[in-house]
A = this chain, B = another copy of it.
Amino acid sequence: MSLKRQPVRVAVLGCGTVGSETIRLLRDSAKDLEARIGAPIELIGVAVKDKTAPLPIDGLDPAILTEDPVALAEQADVVVELMGGIEPARTAILAALEAGAGVVTANKALLAVHGPELYAAAQKNGVDLYFEAAVGGAIPILRPIRESLAGDTVRRILGIVNGTTNYVLDRMTLEGLDFEEVLADAQRLGYAEADPTADVDGFDAASKAAILASLAFHTRVSLDDVYREGIRDITADDVAAAAATGHVIKLLAIVERRGPGDQGTPDSGVIARVHPALVPLDHPLASVHGAFNAIYVESEAAGELMFYGRGAGGRPTASAVVGDLVTVARHGLEGTTGPGESTYLALPTLDVAKALTRFQIRLVVKDQPGVLAGVAQVFAAEGVSIETVRQTPGGPALGNGHANLTVVTHQATEGALQRVVAALAGLDVVERVAGAIRVEGE
C-alpha cells in the first residue's frame, strides 16, 4: 500500500473563458484527475486582472485570487497560463520555469514569437513546457506530431486552424453571401471578435503554422517566417467560381518540408504559409464545416492522417489544457520530463516564391479572336502549364464584347504564378484579373 501523495500545487493565470472552464474541470473531475495523476490537485491561486471584478465561475475562494501572476507562478508545482498576449504571460512563464514549475499554456502568439526562449528556460530547469491547446483547441495534434510520429518523416501539413474564418467561409459557401455581411453576423453571434484582425487577416493561423512547422520539422520556425494572406478579399464571386469547378474555399495553414530532390527548387528547407485556397470537394478538409478545425498531415510512412474537432471554445480548450496538466503533473512526481524542443534539423525557411502550388485565375477578357493565344503565351513564357481553360459568355454585367476566362494551372512555383498574374494584368486583351486563388490538397 502506497502512502497518499502530497497534492500537486496548481496555479491558473487568467480567468477568462478558458481559465474558468479549466478551473471548473479541475474541480468537477478532481477524483478522476487524482487517479490518473497519482496525487490530488490543489488549486493554490488564480491570477486575474482585477480582484474586485465579478468572476465567470461560482464558488471560487476569493482568498486565492491575485493580481500578481508572476509571484503566483513562482509558488506552484504546475502553472497553467491562460492570459494570452505577450506580457505579462512571458515573464510569468519564465518565472515559473526558473522556479522549477512545469508549465501548460494555450498561448500560440507567445509561442510563435518567444518559443525558443521559453523552451530554453524549460530545458535549463529540467521541467516541462506543454501547449496542446495552442493549436487546434481540443484536437490532439501536437502530441501526435511530437510523439506518435517521432518514428516518421512529416512532409506536409494542411490545416484549418482558425474557427472564425472557417465559420465565415463556410457560411459564404452555404448561403452565397459576401464577406462583410457574414463577418458582421459572426460578430453578433460571438464567432468573431469586435476587432477581427487576428482571425480574418490570418495572424492567428500564422502563429499556429509556426508552431506546427517547428514540431513537425524539428526546426525553429517563428511567426515572421510564415507568409500570410487573410480572407478579407474573398468575394461571393470567388466562392461561386470555386463551387463551379468542384471546390470550396478554405483558409489553410500549410507547412511543408522541401528536399533538394523536389521539383521547382534545388534548395532544402521549410515553407510555411497561410492563405485562402481552393480545396477539392472530395478532400477530407472540404467537409470541415462551421467553426470546426482539422489538421491534415502527410507523412512518409504513415501516409495521410487527419485530426478533426473543436478548435476553440472554453470547454474544448480546457480539455486540452487539463490533459497536458495531467502529463506535466505525472512527470513532476516522477522527476522526469517529456520531449523538449527538437531543432536538430535546423532547416532554412524558404521564400514562399519557391512553394509549389496551382492557381485558378479568373479573367475578364475582350471577346475577340486570338485572346486565348495571347493569354496562353503568358503562361508559356513562365513555363507554367495549363490544366484547364473554361470560357463563358460575359453576360450583361460585364458589358458587351467581354467574356470570362477561367484558367487552372498545373503545379508551378508561387513565384512563376505571381509573375503570370502580373503579366496577364498588363495584357491589352485582358480587361481585368477577377481573381487568382491557389488550389491545394490534390
Question: Which residues from chain A sit less than 8 Å from chain B, CB to CB?
Answer: 21, 25, 29, 32-33, 35-36, 132, 138-140, 143-144, 147-153, 218, 284, 287, 299, 301-310, 313, 315-316, 318-327, 330, 334-336, 339, 342, 344-345
Docked CA distance A21–B152 (Å):
12
> How far is the CB of A27 from the nearest CB of chain B, in Å?
12
Is B326 a contact partner of A150 (Cβ separation < 8 A)? yes
> How far is the CB of A263 from the nearest CB of chain B, in Å?
22
Q: Which residues of B contact A218 (CB under 8 A)?
A: 32, 35-36
Q: A36-B344, A335-B336 are in contact. List 18 more A-B contacts (CB 8 A).
A: A21-B301, A25-B151, A25-B152, A35-B345, A36-B339, A140-B140, A140-B143, A143-B147, A144-B144, A151-B318, A151-B319, A151-B322, A151-B326, A152-B319, A152-B322, A299-B319, A307-B307, A334-B336
Q: A144-B143, A306-B306 are in contact. Are A323 and B29 (CB under 8 A)?
A: no
One complex includes copies of this chain to the number of: 2
Q: Which residues of B contact A301 (CB under 8 A)?
A: 21, 25, 138, 315-316, 318-319, 322
Docked CA distance A187–B109 (Å):
51
Q: Nearest chain-B residue to A292 (Cβ)?
A: B304
> How far is the CB of A174 from the nearest CB of chain B, in Å?
13
Q: Nearest chain-B residue to A132 (Cβ)?
A: B148
Listed A/B pairs (15) with beta-carbon separation below 8 Å: A21-B301, A25-B151, A29-B151, A138-B299, A139-B305, A140-B140, A140-B143, A147-B327, A149-B323, A150-B327, A151-B318, A151-B319, A301-B315, A303-B315, A305-B309
Docked CA distance A320–B147 (Å):
10
Q: Nearest chain-B residue to A31 (Cβ)?
A: B344
